[in-house]
Structure 1
């Protein structure tokens, strides 16, 4: 009963997908204007900010339901790499006030998504 990799993959998928999706839902309501500003600071076009909806809404839904999970997880990896480069590079070698890694949440999303790229969706999914 406890040796069930498919249940483990389901837990990873649901954890990553639901937590990332909440960030996407927030951006659906609040908009992505601030991301456009960050992109402009890096001399990139502001319309690229709408790509966050792929990485924080579409990809998490794919991961949650287990449809093309590896692709959805890869999109989340890309989303997190862009977020790290654009918004969190200054925190890369920093600790938070509680002693944890300053970017531990972003790292969690990045590495969990990377694990799902290699693991796949498991048995409890629409389609691997």
Structure 2
């Protein structure tokens, strides 16, 4: 039987997956070398831009399908936490007029934490691949 919280989790999972997929795709379409340069300006190695973009792209698809939801969500938490602290925190919650604030990053982080903590959501391949004993 489908519970209403599973439907809500599915909506959040698909939304988060689409959001990260689009962000990962934009990094490649906008020139991943530019993103690598930005990462280097923050003190990260340039190759980390490729890692983050691939996690966003592949992780987004995985969340849409409901594969590896907990692992992908934890990776998204890490990405969002670093992005918030290293880039957005100085701009404040709502931004400073020159840069967006960290309100969206924080919302996506909370959704990611929720998805990492829950047992399952509706229409997720994880439910078929990893059937729980109470199902």
State the TM-score, normalized to the length of structure 2: 0.77
1:1-128 correspondence to structure 2 within 5 Å: 4-91=4-91, 93-96=92-95, 102-128=101-127
Q: Distance in 2 between matches of 1:41 and 1:81?
A: 18
Other structure's SS at 2:125 match? coil
TM superposition shift of 1:41: 2.7
RMSD of the TM alignment (CA)? 2.3
Contact 2:93-2:103 within 8 A present in 1 as well: no
Count residues in correspondence.
123
Structure 1 spans left out of the alignment, 5+ residues: none
Contact 2:70 2:115 in 1 (8 A): yes
Instruction: Normalising by structure 1, report the TM-score.
Output: 0.81
- Judged with a 3 Å threshold, the aligned counterparts in structure 2 of structure 1 residues 85 and 31 are, in CA distance, closer, same or farther, namely farther
List structure 1 segments (4+ residues) > 6 angstroms apart after TM superposition: none
Deviation at 1:125, TM superposition (A): 0.7
The 3-state SS of whatever aligns with 2:12 is: helix
Distance 1:94 1:19 in 2: 20
For residue 42 of structure 1, report the CA deviation from its aligned partner: 3.7
Bigger mean CA offset, 76-85 vs 16-25: 76-85
Q: Distance in 2 between matches of 1:62 and 1:88?
A: 26
